[in-house]
Amino acid sequence: MPVSMTALCDDLAAESAVLRDVLAGLTEEQWRLPTPAEGWTIADQVSHLAYFDDVALRSATDPDAFLAEKAAMDAEGGVSPDTFVEKFRDLSGAEMLAWYDEARGRLIAALRELDPSTRVPWFGPAMSAASSLTARIMETWAHGQDVLDTVGVVHEPSGRLRHVAHIGVGARPFSYYAHGRPMPEVPIRVELTAPDGSTWTWGPDDAADRITGSAEDFALLITQRRHRDDLALGIVGNAATEWAEIGQAFAGEAGTGRKPR
C-alpha cells in the first residue's frame, strides 16, 4: 500500500491534539514544572517541538535555507537541543502554546502537499517527506510522554505507536553511529502487540535475536523514555541486548536514556 501523506498528517494532528489538550489546562506555574528529561521543564519540551517544526518546514520547503542553517550550527559545534530551549524560556505558557499551534499547523499544511518520496535534508541522514512526518509523530509522542508523566496523565496507547516503532527500527544503524560503535551484521526480529491486539513485525521471522512485547513498551524503550528494566519486553540475543541499551529513534547526539525507576 502506498504511503499516504494525508493519513500521516492526520495522525500527526491527532497526536498533537493529545498533547495540546493537556497543555491548554496548565497554569503558568505548571509550565515551569521539571519533566523526567533532566533540566527540561514542560515549556522546554514544547519549545523544542515548535522550534523543530519550523526547522522541518524549512527542510521540506526550502532545503537550501535549511542546509545553510545547519552549516552554521555545525560551525558552532553542532546541534544542541539544550542550547535551543534556553533561548525561549522568557515566553509565557500562552505564548508557547500559540507558537506550538502555529508551527504545527504550518508544517501539516505544507507537508500534506508533498510527494511522500520527496527527499528532504535533516541533521542525520536525508530522508523522505513521509519519514520526516513520521519523525514528527515520534517526537510529539515522546516529548508528550514526558509532559503527561509530569502532570500525571495517562498516555493512552493508539495505533500511532506503529509510527514510533517503525522509525525506531529503521534508526538502528544510526543508533550505533551516534554511539561510535560498529553495528553487528545480525538481523533482529521485532514482534509487538498493538493496542488493538494485532501483531506488528519487523525483520526476518527466523532471526535468532528478537525483541517482543507491547508496542507501547517498545516505543518507550526506543525513544529512551523508560529504562529497559522497567519494561515488559522479551530481549533475546547479544545484538538485541546491545541495541536495547543504545537504541534511539531520534537524530542528533547519543541520548543518555533514563535511570531505572
Mean pLDDT of 184-205: 98
Domain boundaries, the chain: 5-156, 162-246
CATH topology agreement for domains 5-156 and 162-246? no
Angle between helices 93-111 and 42-61 (to 10 degrees): 30
Tell me the pLDDT of the chain averaged across its residues.
95
pLDDT at 1: 53
Mean pLDDT of 1-19: 93
Answer whether residue 255 shows pLDDT above 90.
no
Lowest mean pLDDT segment, chosen from 111-125, 162-176, 197-211: 111-125
pLDDT at 23: 98
> 20-43 pLDDT, tens per residue?
999 999 999 999 999 999 999 999
pLDDT at 3: 85
Mean pLDDT of 155-168: 97
Helices (H) and strands (E) in the chain, counts: 11, 6
| Rg from Cα positions in the chain | 18
Mean pLDDT of 45-50: 97
Answer whether residue 123 shows pLDDT above 90.
no
- Under DSSP, the state recorded for 228 is G
- Under DSSP, the state recorded for 242 is H
pLDDT at 56: 96
Non-local CB neighbours of 94 within 8 Å, separated by 6+ positions: none
pLDDT at 256: 83
Residue whose entry in the numeric block shows the C-alpha cell 509530569: 150
Answer whether residue 212 shows pLDDT above 80.
yes
What is the CATH class of 5-156? mainly alpha
SS3 at position 205: coil
> 134-146 pLDDT, tens per residue?
999 999 999 999 9
Cβ atoms of 163 and 144 within 8 Å: the answer is no
Q: Confidence band (pLDDT; 50, 70, 90) for 191? A: very high
Percent above pLDDT 90 for the chain: 87
pLDDT at 106: 97
CATH architecture of residue range(s) 162-246: 2-Layer Sandwich (3.30)
Mean pLDDT of 12-18: 98
Mean pLDDT of 100-105: 98
Mean pLDDT of 234-250: 97
